[in-house]
């Protein structure tokens, strides 16, 4: 097995996950492009391999422990032991509290929080064995509260607490854990939100940009750039941090 580092990026079929997967491949890592349906990962894998990188598509339900353990075993066999994990897989089930169902709540918690727990737990032994690892968890500005997102906000705030605890527990093994909290990023998810509220996506983006100090909305590459920094050798003394990549200050 080569000395090439192996990364797992969850929810990498599209959007932020795809952007991060492509960037890490360009940085020289072999990337396991993981999503619920392996076939959905084909475009991301093709983009990476056509650019000269190394990637495989992996299908797994991150909320299911057996599914995740089987996926990580496949990754070890095909690429090598993973020492980088980007927990990006997520879903939205937005609604006002009085209309939100228990299923809406549980589904969001299962993918974001249990998913991050399952994937990190399965991969961390490989990081400990290597004496080196990088964990990047995707939070959101919604962690600070967002109307209609009691479930998503709670999950994204939970990702921050999870990140800080990982940093404390795994630091002595050469493993860092950090979180990225994106603001408005142009993805299928934000396009779906625009559709849900009945606003054309271009108008939705313009309205969002007008409230952002840098006067534009974000793109997946903005998040990928921050992930690349956290995963770099030079970021070994940065751990337990949450960086808001939102075009302006958030707290």
Structure tokens at 28: 């020289």
| DSSP 8-state secondary structure symbol assigned to residue 136 | E
H/E segment holding residue 95: none
Phi-psi region of 198 (alpha: psi -120 to 50; beta: other; left: phi over 0): left
Q: Which are the catalytic amino acids?
A: 152
How long, in residues, is the chain?
Answer: 251
Q: CA end-to-end span of the chain, whole Å? A: 43
Distance CA 109, CA 151 (A): 7
Within 10 A of 46 (CB to CB), how many other CB atoms are there? Answer: 12
Structure tokens at 170: 């795994």
For residue 32, CA distances in Å to 19, 113, 201 come to: 13, 20, 31
H/E segment holding residue 192: helix 188-196
């Amino acid at each position: 097995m080569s000395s090439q580092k192996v990364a797992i990026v969850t929810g990498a079929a599209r959007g932020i996950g795809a952007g991060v997967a492509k960037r890490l491949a360009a940085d020289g890592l072999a990337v396991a492009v993981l999503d619920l349906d392996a076939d959905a990962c084909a475009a991301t894998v093709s983009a990476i391999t056509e650019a000269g990188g190394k990637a495989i598509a992996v299908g797994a339900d991150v909320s299911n422990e057996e599914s995740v353990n089987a996926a990580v075993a496949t990754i070890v066999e095909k690429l090598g032991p993973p020492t980088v994990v980007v927990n990006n897989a997520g879903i939205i089930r937005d609604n006002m509290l009085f209309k939100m169902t228990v299923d809406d709540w549980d589904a969001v918690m299962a993918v974001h929080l249990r998913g991050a727990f399952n994937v990190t737990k399965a991969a961390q032994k490989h990081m400990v064995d290597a004496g080196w690892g990088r964990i990047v968890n995707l939070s959101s500005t919604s962690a600070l509260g967002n109307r209609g997102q009691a479930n998503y906000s709670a999950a994204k705030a939970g990702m921050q607490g999870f990140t800080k605890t990982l940093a404390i527990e795994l630091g002595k093994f050469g493993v860092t854990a950090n979180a990225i909290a994106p603001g408005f990023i142009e993805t299928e998810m934000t396009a779906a939100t625009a559709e849900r509220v009945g606003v054309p996506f271009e108008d939705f983006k313009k309205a969002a940009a007008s409230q952002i100090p840098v006067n534009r909305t974000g793109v997946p590459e903005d998040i990928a750039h921050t992930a690349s920094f956290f995963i770099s050798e030079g970021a070994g003394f940065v751990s337990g941090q949450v960086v808001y990549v939102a075009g302006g200050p958030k707290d």
